[in-house]
Amino acid sequence: MTTTTAEKSGSYRLGDREVHRIGYGAMQLAGPHVMGPPADRDAAIAVLRRAVELGVDHIDTSDYYGPTVVNELIREALHPYPDDLVIVTKVGARRDADGGWPEALDPDDLRRAVQENIDHLGVDALDVVNLRMPGFAEPVERSLAEPFEALAAMQQEGLVRHLGVSNVTTQMLAEARSIAPVVCVQNHYNLVHRHDDPMIDALARDGIAYTPFFPLGGFSPLQSAALETVARRLETTPMQVALTWLLARSPNLLLIPGTSSVAHLEENLQASARVLGPEELAELDRIGGTGEPDPAG
């Protein structure tokens, strides 16, 4: 059987580039709890190289994965980077000795983070930088003016090409857009957790990409009787159906499912080639509106 490529997922604009709608999230390449090196470094390198071979042209990462480990793996596996590869990173936190994620939003913290991402990825400037605001899975309403202004200044200096925001409310997004153009939003969203439906539709009207994190439920995989039923009918996995549903949800959704396995990477890409019929879409759409428990909440 021919392996499905990312090209099958279609494309959408991210900054000044068109990218395939299924990308790759690199967080799982670090060790347990996103700390330290992977158990199998060669396997991690193989996943990154296979992703690019299969048409993945946007990779999501951060220097605080490891910390530094994942960016160094990306550099080892892929540098010099293909001309069409967009690397999206994020700043706004750091790692402590206990594996925590304390915020790091002061201008000095952000400048240091941008420079460290540049150094460890081996680039002259970062393609896209998301300002990740505090809160584990849900945004905390607060002003992001100071940190976003700091990033906008670095964009003017040429250290960053495009800016995005992550873990934000509608009000925080509006504040960011009043400071500098926003090319993408990365928030918690999936088949079950659909609080951002209005935001996604508004962004689509403005031509801005939306990247769901926890697209498969995060640390608590999605569980739904309806999802299981549709997956059995289509003779595939619930996770593949959940990714296919996201692709069908709105054309501005860019997906970054993560894995440390080449086989799982190829399985995720199979979602690109699947088509959900009206009946399946209706069944799955009801999950977000029937009060089924949100496993990641």
Active site positions, annotated: 65
Q: What DSSP letter does each residue of 129-159 carry, written as one string?
A: EEEE-S-SSS------HHHHHHHHHHHHHTS
Question: How far apart, in Å, are the Cα atoms of 34 and each of 62, 66, 101, 107?
Answer: 11, 5, 11, 25
Q: How many of the other CB atoms lie within 10 Å of CB of 193? A: 22
Q: Which runs of consecutive H residues, i.e. helices, occur in the chain?
A: 41-53, 69-78, 107-121, 145-157, 170-179, 197-206, 225-234, 238-249, 262-269, 278-287
Nearest to 266 by CA among 56, 40, 29, 71: 56
CA-closest candidate to residue 57, choices 256, 250, 241, 261: 256
Quick one: tokens of 191?
Answer: 């088949």
Start-to-end C-alpha separation, the chain: 38
How far apart CA 253 and CA 185 sit, in angstroms, is 10
Of 15, 3, 120, whose CA–CA distance to 56 is shortest? 3
